[in-house]
Structure 1
Amino acid sequence: MEKLIAQGKIRRWGVSNLGYADMQELWQLPGGNQCATNQVLYHLGSRGIEYDLLPWCQQQQMPVMAYSPLAQAGRLRNGLLKNAVVNEIAHVQQNAAALEVELSSAELAMLDKAYPAPKGKTALDMV
Protein backbone atom coordinates (compact mmCIF):
# COMPACT_ATOMS: atom_id res chain seq x y z
CA MET A 1 0.00 0.00 0.00
CA GLU A 2 2.82 2.35 0.86
CA LYS A 3 4.27 1.85 -2.62
CA LEU A 4 0.91 2.60 -4.29
CA ILE A 5 0.56 5.75 -2.21
CA ALA A 6 4.12 6.83 -3.07
CA GLN A 7 3.37 6.25 -6.77
CA GLY A 8 0.24 8.40 -6.49
CA LYS A 9 -2.00 5.52 -7.54
CA ILE A 10 -4.08 5.66 -4.37
CA ARG A 11 -4.55 8.23 -1.66
CA ARG A 12 -6.20 6.13 1.03
CA TRP A 13 -7.08 2.48 1.55
CA GLY A 14 -9.35 0.48 3.77
CA VAL A 15 -10.30 -3.03 4.74
CA SER A 16 -13.51 -5.00 5.07
CA ASN A 17 -14.69 -7.46 7.70
CA LEU A 18 -11.64 -7.31 9.95
CA GLY A 19 -12.43 -8.03 13.59
CA TYR A 20 -10.77 -6.53 16.64
CA ALA A 21 -7.80 -8.94 16.73
CA ASP A 22 -7.30 -8.60 12.97
CA MET A 23 -7.23 -4.80 13.22
CA GLN A 24 -4.69 -4.93 16.04
CA GLU A 25 -2.54 -7.23 13.93
CA LEU A 26 -2.88 -4.92 10.92
CA TRP A 27 -1.87 -1.94 13.08
CA GLN A 28 1.44 -3.68 13.88
CA LEU A 29 2.38 -4.11 10.21
CA PRO A 30 4.43 -1.40 8.46
CA GLY A 31 1.94 1.21 7.26
CA GLY A 32 -0.98 -0.68 8.79
CA ASN A 33 -1.94 2.28 10.91
CA GLN A 34 -2.59 4.21 7.70
CA CYS A 35 -5.76 2.18 7.10
CA ALA A 36 -8.52 4.73 6.45
CA THR A 37 -11.57 2.63 7.37
CA ASN A 38 -12.92 -0.81 8.20
CA GLN A 39 -16.18 -1.74 6.48
CA VAL A 40 -18.24 -4.12 8.62
CA LEU A 41 -21.79 -5.39 8.96
CA TYR A 42 -23.60 -3.16 11.47
CA HIS A 43 -27.29 -2.66 12.18
CA LEU A 44 -29.77 -3.07 15.03
CA GLY A 45 -29.66 -6.85 14.80
CA SER A 46 -25.89 -7.05 14.45
CA ARG A 47 -24.23 -4.93 17.11
CA GLY A 48 -21.27 -7.17 17.95
CA ILE A 49 -18.73 -4.55 16.86
CA GLU A 50 -19.84 -2.36 19.78
CA TYR A 51 -18.08 -4.66 22.26
CA ASP A 52 -14.48 -4.10 21.22
CA LEU A 53 -13.99 -3.25 17.54
CA LEU A 54 -15.98 0.00 17.44
CA PRO A 55 -14.42 1.46 20.63
CA TRP A 56 -10.96 0.53 19.35
CA CYS A 57 -11.59 2.19 15.97
CA GLN A 58 -12.89 5.29 17.76
CA GLN A 59 -9.76 5.36 19.91
CA GLN A 60 -7.65 5.21 16.73
CA GLN A 61 -9.85 7.96 15.19
CA MET A 62 -10.57 5.60 12.30
CA PRO A 63 -14.08 5.71 10.83
CA VAL A 64 -16.09 2.51 10.58
CA MET A 65 -18.16 2.12 7.43
CA ALA A 66 -21.33 0.10 8.01
CA TYR A 67 -22.65 -2.09 5.26
CA SER A 68 -26.26 -3.30 5.29
CA PRO A 69 -27.23 -0.76 7.98
CA LEU A 70 -30.88 -1.63 7.31
CA ALA A 71 -30.21 -5.38 7.54
CA GLN A 72 -30.90 -5.87 3.84
CA ALA A 73 -34.58 -5.29 4.66
CA GLY A 74 -34.96 -9.03 5.06
CA ARG A 75 -32.99 -10.45 7.94
CA LEU A 76 -34.84 -8.29 10.45
CA ARG A 77 -37.92 -7.42 8.43
CA ASN A 78 -40.32 -9.88 10.03
CA GLY A 79 -39.25 -9.24 13.60
CA LEU A 80 -38.65 -5.56 13.04
CA LEU A 81 -42.03 -4.84 11.50
CA LYS A 82 -43.80 -6.85 14.21
CA ASN A 83 -41.99 -5.00 17.00
CA ALA A 84 -44.47 -2.61 18.65
CA VAL A 85 -41.71 -0.19 19.68
CA VAL A 86 -40.42 0.14 16.13
CA ASN A 87 -43.94 0.44 14.69
CA GLU A 88 -44.84 3.16 17.19
CA ILE A 89 -41.76 5.18 16.26
CA ALA A 90 -42.43 4.62 12.55
CA HIS A 91 -46.08 5.64 12.88
CA VAL A 92 -45.27 8.85 14.73
CA GLN A 93 -42.60 9.83 12.23
CA GLN A 94 -44.01 8.41 8.99
CA ASN A 95 -44.67 11.84 7.53
CA ALA A 96 -41.36 13.37 8.56
CA ALA A 97 -38.81 14.09 5.87
CA ALA A 98 -35.97 11.56 6.00
CA LEU A 99 -33.29 14.17 6.63
CA GLU A 100 -35.28 15.80 9.40
CA VAL A 101 -35.87 12.68 11.48
CA GLU A 102 -34.09 12.76 14.82
CA LEU A 103 -34.80 10.09 17.40
CA SER A 104 -35.12 11.21 21.00
CA SER A 105 -33.07 9.72 23.80
CA ALA A 106 -36.16 7.81 24.91
CA GLU A 107 -36.70 6.37 21.43
CA LEU A 108 -33.05 5.38 21.14
CA ALA A 109 -33.33 3.72 24.55
CA MET A 110 -36.37 1.75 23.36
CA LEU A 111 -34.42 0.56 20.32
CA ASP A 112 -31.48 -0.40 22.54
CA LYS A 113 -33.88 -2.39 24.73
CA ALA A 114 -35.47 -4.13 21.74
CA TYR A 115 -32.07 -4.84 20.13
CA PRO A 116 -29.49 -4.82 22.95
CA ALA A 117 -25.78 -4.43 22.41
CA PRO A 118 -23.73 -7.54 23.18
CA LYS A 119 -22.64 -8.15 26.75
CA GLY A 120 -19.53 -9.97 25.62
CA LYS A 121 -17.36 -10.69 22.63
CA THR A 122 -19.19 -12.04 19.60
CA ALA A 123 -18.00 -13.31 16.25
CA LEU A 124 -17.85 -10.68 13.53
CA ASP A 125 -21.08 -10.94 11.53
CA MET A 126 -20.88 -10.95 7.75
CA VAL A 127 -23.40 -11.14 4.94
Structure 2
Amino acid sequence: MISKLAIGTWLIGEDKSKEKEEIETINYAIDNGIKIIDTAEMYGKGKAEKLLGRIIENKNREDLYLISKIYPHNAHTKEQIKKSLFQSLDNLKTSYLDLYLLHWIENDTNLHLVVETFEELKKEGYLKNWGVSNFDVSDLERLYQIPNGKNCHTNQILYHIGQRGIEYDLIPYAKDNNLHLMFYSVLGHSKAYRDEIINSPAIIKISSKHHMTPYQVMLLFSLEKEGTSIIKASSIKHIKELIEVTRLHLDKDDLEQIDKVFKKPLNKVPLQMI
Protein backbone atom coordinates (compact mmCIF):
# COMPACT_ATOMS: atom_id res chain seq x y z
CA MET A 1 0.00 0.00 0.00
CA ILE A 2 1.36 3.44 -0.98
CA SER A 3 0.34 5.37 2.12
CA LYS A 4 1.73 8.70 0.91
CA LEU A 5 -0.66 8.86 -2.05
CA ALA A 6 -4.45 8.97 -2.27
CA ILE A 7 -6.75 8.86 -5.28
CA GLY A 8 -8.89 11.97 -5.63
CA THR A 9 -12.33 11.85 -7.26
CA TRP A 10 -13.30 15.50 -7.73
CA LEU A 11 -15.09 15.95 -11.11
CA ILE A 12 -15.22 12.17 -11.62
CA GLY A 13 -18.50 10.51 -12.57
CA GLU A 14 -20.00 13.62 -14.12
CA ASP A 15 -19.39 12.91 -17.80
CA LYS A 16 -20.57 9.60 -19.28
CA SER A 17 -18.11 9.89 -22.17
CA LYS A 18 -15.20 9.81 -19.68
CA GLU A 19 -16.59 7.08 -17.44
CA LYS A 20 -14.79 4.11 -19.00
CA GLU A 21 -11.39 5.80 -18.73
CA GLU A 22 -12.10 6.99 -15.18
CA ILE A 23 -12.98 3.46 -14.09
CA GLU A 24 -9.88 1.99 -15.76
CA THR A 25 -7.63 4.64 -14.21
CA ILE A 26 -8.94 4.21 -10.66
CA ASN A 27 -8.76 0.42 -11.00
CA TYR A 28 -5.17 0.71 -12.18
CA ALA A 29 -4.27 2.95 -9.23
CA ILE A 30 -5.83 0.56 -6.72
CA ASP A 31 -4.24 -2.49 -8.32
CA ASN A 32 -0.86 -0.75 -8.19
CA GLY A 33 -0.81 0.13 -4.54
CA ILE A 34 -2.86 3.29 -3.99
CA LYS A 35 -5.52 2.11 -1.56
CA ILE A 36 -6.56 5.47 -0.06
CA ILE A 37 -9.51 6.95 -1.97
CA ASP A 38 -10.91 10.42 -1.30
CA THR A 39 -14.38 11.57 -2.28
CA ALA A 40 -17.22 13.76 -0.99
CA GLU A 41 -20.98 14.09 -1.16
CA MET A 42 -20.36 17.42 -2.92
CA TYR A 43 -18.52 15.86 -5.87
CA GLY A 44 -21.04 15.66 -8.67
CA LYS A 45 -23.82 15.70 -6.04
CA GLY A 46 -23.01 12.09 -5.18
CA LYS A 47 -22.06 10.94 -8.69
CA ALA A 48 -18.39 10.49 -7.75
CA GLU A 49 -19.35 8.33 -4.76
CA LYS A 50 -21.71 6.24 -6.90
CA LEU A 51 -19.09 5.62 -9.59
CA LEU A 52 -16.57 4.73 -6.92
CA GLY A 53 -19.08 2.35 -5.35
CA ARG A 54 -19.37 0.47 -8.62
CA ILE A 55 -15.57 0.28 -8.91
CA ILE A 56 -14.93 -1.08 -5.42
CA GLU A 57 -17.92 -3.38 -4.95
CA ASN A 58 -15.95 -6.40 -6.20
CA LYS A 59 -12.76 -5.54 -4.34
CA ASN A 60 -11.70 -6.52 -0.82
CA ARG A 61 -13.12 -3.70 1.30
CA GLU A 62 -10.56 -4.25 4.07
CA ASP A 63 -7.76 -3.47 1.62
CA LEU A 64 -9.16 0.01 0.96
CA TYR A 65 -9.16 3.22 2.97
CA LEU A 66 -12.28 5.20 2.03
CA ILE A 67 -12.74 8.87 2.83
CA SER A 68 -15.79 11.04 2.24
CA LYS A 69 -16.89 14.49 3.38
CA ILE A 70 -20.06 16.21 4.51
CA TYR A 71 -21.22 19.70 3.49
CA PRO A 72 -21.23 22.08 6.49
CA HIS A 73 -24.84 23.00 5.69
CA ASN A 74 -25.75 19.32 6.14
CA ALA A 75 -24.20 19.28 9.61
CA HIS A 76 -26.64 21.46 11.57
CA THR A 77 -28.44 18.56 13.29
CA LYS A 78 -27.63 14.97 14.20
CA GLU A 79 -30.36 13.82 11.85
CA GLN A 80 -28.82 15.73 8.93
CA ILE A 81 -25.36 14.38 9.63
CA LYS A 82 -26.57 10.80 9.83
CA LYS A 83 -28.68 11.20 6.70
CA SER A 84 -25.66 12.48 4.76
CA LEU A 85 -23.39 9.74 6.04
CA PHE A 86 -25.87 6.95 5.30
CA GLN A 87 -26.42 8.32 1.78
CA SER A 88 -22.65 8.30 1.21
CA LEU A 89 -22.41 4.74 2.54
CA ASP A 90 -25.22 3.70 0.22
CA ASN A 91 -23.56 5.41 -2.75
CA LEU A 92 -20.24 3.74 -1.96
CA LYS A 93 -21.87 0.36 -1.29
CA THR A 94 -20.06 -0.02 2.02
CA SER A 95 -21.11 -0.32 5.66
CA TYR A 96 -18.46 2.05 7.04
CA LEU A 97 -15.96 4.77 6.20
CA ASP A 98 -12.36 4.77 7.31
CA LEU A 99 -12.45 8.57 7.58
CA TYR A 100 -15.31 11.11 7.48
CA LEU A 101 -14.52 14.81 7.18
CA LEU A 102 -16.40 18.04 7.75
CA HIS A 103 -15.68 19.59 4.34
CA TRP A 104 -15.14 23.13 5.65
CA ILE A 105 -16.25 25.31 8.55
CA GLU A 106 -18.84 28.10 8.37
CA ASN A 107 -19.69 30.84 10.86
CA ASP A 108 -22.76 28.98 12.08
CA THR A 109 -21.11 25.53 12.25
CA ASN A 110 -21.83 23.93 15.62
CA LEU A 111 -18.60 22.05 16.21
CA HIS A 112 -19.88 20.63 19.52
CA LEU A 113 -22.73 18.95 17.65
CA VAL A 114 -20.48 17.75 14.82
CA VAL A 115 -17.92 16.20 17.17
CA GLU A 116 -20.60 14.61 19.36
CA THR A 117 -22.34 13.07 16.34
CA PHE A 118 -19.13 11.89 14.71
CA GLU A 119 -18.10 10.26 17.99
CA GLU A 120 -21.47 8.46 18.20
CA LEU A 121 -21.15 7.22 14.62
CA LYS A 122 -17.66 6.02 15.41
CA LYS A 123 -18.88 4.05 18.43
CA GLU A 124 -21.66 2.55 16.30
CA GLY A 125 -19.10 1.29 13.77
CA TYR A 126 -20.03 3.51 10.85
CA LEU A 127 -16.75 5.44 11.07
CA LYS A 128 -13.24 4.29 11.88
CA ASN A 129 -12.09 7.90 12.30
CA TRP A 130 -13.29 11.43 11.64
CA GLY A 131 -11.60 14.68 10.76
CA VAL A 132 -11.93 18.06 9.09
CA SER A 133 -10.99 19.81 5.87
CA ASN A 134 -9.93 23.40 5.19
CA PHE A 135 -9.35 24.19 8.88
CA ASP A 136 -6.82 26.89 9.73
CA VAL A 137 -4.93 26.99 13.04
CA SER A 138 -7.60 29.17 14.69
CA ASP A 139 -10.30 26.68 13.60
CA LEU A 140 -8.31 23.78 15.05
CA GLU A 141 -7.75 25.66 18.31
CA ARG A 142 -11.51 26.13 18.56
CA LEU A 143 -12.07 22.45 17.77
CA TYR A 144 -9.60 21.33 20.42
CA GLN A 145 -11.51 23.21 23.13
CA ILE A 146 -14.49 20.89 22.58
CA PRO A 147 -14.80 17.58 24.45
CA ASN A 148 -13.30 14.86 22.21
CA GLY A 149 -12.18 17.50 19.73
CA LYS A 150 -8.66 16.15 20.02
CA ASN A 151 -9.94 12.91 18.48
CA CYS A 152 -9.79 14.68 15.12
CA HIS A 153 -7.64 12.40 12.98
CA THR A 154 -6.96 14.46 9.84
CA ASN A 155 -7.07 17.94 8.34
CA GLN A 156 -7.28 18.03 4.54
CA ILE A 157 -5.90 21.25 3.06
CA LEU A 158 -4.74 22.88 -0.17
CA TYR A 159 -0.97 22.75 -0.69
CA HIS A 160 1.47 22.90 -3.58
CA ILE A 161 4.78 24.51 -4.58
CA GLY A 162 3.12 27.81 -5.47
CA GLN A 163 0.93 27.96 -2.38
CA ARG A 164 3.04 27.33 0.72
CA GLY A 165 1.26 29.38 3.38
CA ILE A 166 0.57 26.39 5.63
CA GLU A 167 4.31 25.90 6.17
CA TYR A 168 4.40 28.97 8.43
CA ASP A 169 2.06 27.76 11.16
CA LEU A 170 -0.35 25.00 10.16
CA ILE A 171 2.18 22.27 9.39
CA PRO A 172 4.11 22.87 12.66
CA TYR A 173 0.84 23.05 14.61
CA ALA A 174 -0.33 19.75 13.15
CA LYS A 175 2.97 18.10 14.02
CA ASP A 176 2.82 19.39 17.61
CA ASN A 177 -0.71 18.03 17.97
CA ASN A 178 -0.16 14.69 16.20
CA LEU A 179 -2.67 15.66 13.52
CA HIS A 180 -2.39 13.91 10.15
CA LEU A 181 -2.43 16.18 7.11
CA MET A 182 -3.75 15.44 3.66
CA PHE A 183 -2.83 17.76 0.79
CA TYR A 184 -5.14 18.42 -2.14
CA SER A 185 -4.41 20.22 -5.43
CA VAL A 186 -0.74 19.27 -5.11
CA LEU A 187 -0.37 19.80 -8.88
CA GLY A 188 -1.77 23.31 -8.66
CA HIS A 189 -5.32 24.48 -8.07
CA SER A 190 -5.70 26.48 -11.29
CA LYS A 191 -4.25 26.51 -14.79
CA ALA A 192 -2.52 29.82 -14.02
CA TYR A 193 -0.72 28.32 -11.03
CA ARG A 194 0.22 25.16 -12.95
CA ASP A 195 1.55 27.07 -15.93
CA GLU A 196 3.61 29.37 -13.72
CA ILE A 197 5.15 26.40 -11.92
CA ILE A 198 5.80 23.98 -14.77
CA ASN A 199 7.30 26.75 -16.93
CA SER A 200 9.60 28.00 -14.19
CA PRO A 201 13.28 27.68 -15.20
CA ALA A 202 14.02 26.18 -11.76
CA ILE A 203 11.39 23.43 -12.18
CA ILE A 204 12.48 22.76 -15.76
CA LYS A 205 16.10 22.46 -14.60
CA ILE A 206 15.21 20.04 -11.79
CA SER A 207 13.02 18.01 -14.14
CA SER A 208 15.84 17.69 -16.67
CA LYS A 209 18.41 16.83 -14.00
CA HIS A 210 16.38 13.89 -12.69
CA HIS A 211 14.68 12.92 -15.99
CA MET A 212 11.30 13.76 -14.49
CA THR A 213 8.31 15.71 -15.72
CA PRO A 214 7.46 19.03 -14.02
CA TYR A 215 4.37 17.38 -12.55
CA GLN A 216 6.50 14.71 -10.94
CA VAL A 217 8.63 17.44 -9.36
CA MET A 218 5.49 19.15 -8.03
CA LEU A 219 4.20 15.93 -6.51
CA LEU A 220 7.59 15.05 -5.04
CA PHE A 221 7.67 18.45 -3.34
CA SER A 222 4.45 17.67 -1.46
CA LEU A 223 5.68 14.17 -0.61
CA GLU A 224 8.65 15.74 1.18
CA LYS A 225 6.19 16.83 3.88
CA GLU A 226 4.66 14.56 6.51
CA GLY A 227 1.22 13.75 5.18
CA THR A 228 -0.70 12.21 2.31
CA SER A 229 -0.93 13.80 -1.14
CA ILE A 230 -4.14 13.43 -3.11
CA ILE A 231 -3.76 12.96 -6.84
CA LYS A 232 -6.45 12.93 -9.48
CA ALA A 233 -5.32 11.25 -12.66
CA SER A 234 -7.30 11.45 -15.86
CA SER A 235 -5.58 8.55 -17.59
CA ILE A 236 -3.57 5.40 -16.86
CA LYS A 237 -0.55 7.08 -18.49
CA HIS A 238 -0.82 9.95 -16.01
CA ILE A 239 -1.34 7.71 -12.97
CA LYS A 240 1.70 5.62 -13.96
CA GLU A 241 3.78 8.79 -14.10
CA LEU A 242 2.61 9.84 -10.63
CA ILE A 243 3.02 6.42 -9.01
CA GLU A 244 6.59 6.33 -10.29
CA VAL A 245 7.28 9.39 -8.11
CA THR A 246 7.19 7.25 -4.95
CA ARG A 247 10.54 5.78 -6.03
CA LEU A 248 12.14 9.18 -6.70
CA HIS A 249 13.60 11.91 -4.51
CA LEU A 250 14.51 15.59 -4.57
CA ASP A 251 17.93 16.44 -3.16
CA LYS A 252 18.95 19.35 -0.95
CA ASP A 253 20.02 21.47 -3.91
CA ASP A 254 16.65 20.92 -5.62
CA LEU A 255 14.77 22.12 -2.56
CA GLU A 256 17.03 25.16 -2.24
CA GLN A 257 16.36 26.06 -5.88
CA ILE A 258 12.61 25.74 -5.31
CA ASP A 259 12.84 27.94 -2.20
CA LYS A 260 14.53 30.71 -4.21
CA VAL A 261 11.66 30.92 -6.68
CA PHE A 262 8.64 29.76 -4.67
CA LYS A 263 9.56 31.23 -1.32
CA LYS A 264 8.65 29.95 2.11
CA PRO A 265 6.16 32.20 3.94
CA LEU A 266 7.74 34.57 6.44
CA ASN A 267 4.45 35.49 8.12
CA LYS A 268 0.89 34.29 8.53
CA VAL A 269 -0.97 33.72 5.25
CA PRO A 270 -4.77 33.25 5.23
CA LEU A 271 -5.67 29.65 4.48
CA GLN A 272 -6.69 29.13 0.87
CA MET A 273 -9.30 26.60 -0.18
CA ILE A 274 -11.25 25.57 -3.26
Q: Same fold (TM over 0.5)?
A: yes
Bigger mean CA offset, 114-123 vs 88-97: 88-97
Aligned to 1:126: 273
Distance 1:110 1:95 in 2: 16
Q: Which amino acid aligns with 2:141?
A: Q
Q: How big is the shift at 1:120?
A: 0.6
Q: Deviations over 1:74-124 (max 9, x none)?
A: 232222232111101111222695333211101011111111111111110
Given candidates 90, 108, 112, the residue that maps to 2:207 is 90
Structure 1 residue runs without a partner (length 5+): none
Distance 1:122 1:72 in 2: 17
Q: Which amino acid aligns with 1:122?
A: V
Distance 1:110 1:22 in 2: 33
Q: Which amino acid aligns with 1:60?
A: N
- Residue 104 of structure 1 pairs with residue 221 of structure 2: no
Q: Deviations over 1:21-56 (max 9, x none)?
A: 000100111111000100000111111111111101
Kindly tell me the number of residue pairs found equivalent between the two proteins. Answer: 127
Bigger mean CA offset, 26-35 vs 2-11: 2-11
Distance 1:98 1:53 in 2: 25
Distance 1:76 1:59 in 2: 30
8 A contact 2:187–2:194 mirrored in 1 = no
8 A contact 2:166–2:271 mirrored in 1 = yes
> Which secondary structure does the structure 2 equivalent of 1:75 belong to?
helix
Distance 1:64 1:98 in 2: 19
Given candidates 28, 42, 49, the residue that maps to 2:159 is 42
> Which secondary structure does the structure 2 equivalent of 1:117 belong to?
coil
| Alpha carbons of structure 1 residues 8 and 95: separation in structure 2 relative to 1, 3 Å | closer
Distance 1:26 1:102 in 2: 36
Considering only aligned residues, what root-mean-square deviation do their CA atoms show, in Å?
1.7
Compare relative contact order (CA 8 Å, sep 6+) and give the higher one, 1 or 2: 1
| Alpha carbons of structure 1 residues 95 and 53: separation in structure 2 relative to 1, 3 Å | closer
Give runs of aligned pairs for residues 20-99 of structure 1, distance below 5 A. 20-72=137-189, 74-94=191-211, 97-99=244-246
Q: How big is the shift at 1:11?
A: 1.4
> Which secondary structure does the structure 1 equivalent of 2:130 belong to?
coil
Q: Which amino acid aligns with 2:259?
A: D
Aligned to 1:114: 261
> Which secondary structure does the structure 1 equivalent of 2:269 belong to?
coil
Distance 2:273 2:121 in 1: 28
8 A contact 2:157–2:273 mirrored in 1 = yes
Aligned to 2:124: 7
* Matched-pair identity in %: 34
Distance 1:8 1:45 in 2: 40
Q: Which amino acid aligns with 1:65?
A: M
